[in-house]
Amino acid sequence: MAGQVVEWVLRVLVGVVLAAAGAAKAFQPEAFAVEVDRFQLTPWLLSLALGYFLPWFEIVTAIALFFRPLYLGALLAISGLGMLFAVAVGSAWWRELDISCGCFGALVSGRIDAWHLVSALLFVGVGSALLVYHGRLRRKAPEMSSKPS
């Protein structure tokens, strides 16, 4: 019971953050592509493609957190997004790039700092923990697998 409550709270928190982040960037993809390009990890065309793709991926993932047939995929996506973000932020921090995160588009213009790296790792942790949780549920009672409450 406690596990289910914690799971629901995490789903709501992560879902709201992802949906807000995606919505803030989905209608200004070129601006987000510039933010991605500033990390100096990808060529411009790939930055532009990510500028269009990532915000919609965040929105779809946020919705999938509350849609049973895609719930586990959403958890894996959260871990993947967190990992991607951690690598990008860690790389920028290591190279001392003076750039903004771009996480919420033009809504928030904070410079990259340790908090962004911690947030990214939290996403990885939440996604992975919930996947392991469902793996254990599945092992205990196979008929209850992949059943978000």
Partner 1 sequence: MHFGLSYVLVTAVRQLTWLVLIALLLSTLSWTLRKTRSAEPLAPGEIDLQTLSSMRAADILWVDARSKAKFDSRHIPGALLLNQADWKALFRTSMISGNRGARWCSTGK
Q: Which of 17, 42, 52, 84 binds partner 1 (CB under 8 A)?
A: 52
Considering the complex, state which of residue 8 and residue 53 has its C-beta at the smaller distance from partner 1: 53
DSSP line for 13-57: HHHHHHHHHHHHHHT-HHHHHHHHHTT-SS-HHHHHHHHHHHHHH
Helix axes of 29-37 and 44-64: crossing angle, nearest 10 degrees? 120
Residues present in the chain in total: 149
What does the per-residue mask of binding to partner 1 show for 99-128, with x meaning CB under 8 A? ------------------------------
Q: Compute CA 107 distance to the chain's CA centroid, rounded to the nearest angstrom.
A: 17
Residue 117: CB minimum distance to partner 1, A: 20
Q: Does 44 bind partner 1 (CB under 8 A)?
A: yes
| CA–CA dist 1, 49 (Å, integer) | 42
Q: CB of 16: closest distance to partner 1 in angstroms?
A: 18
Amino acid present at 147: K
Binding footprint of partner 1 on the chain (CB under 8 A)? 26, 29, 33-34, 37, 40, 43-45, 52-53, 55-57, 59-61, 64, 69-77, 80, 97-98, 131-132, 134-140, 142, 145-146
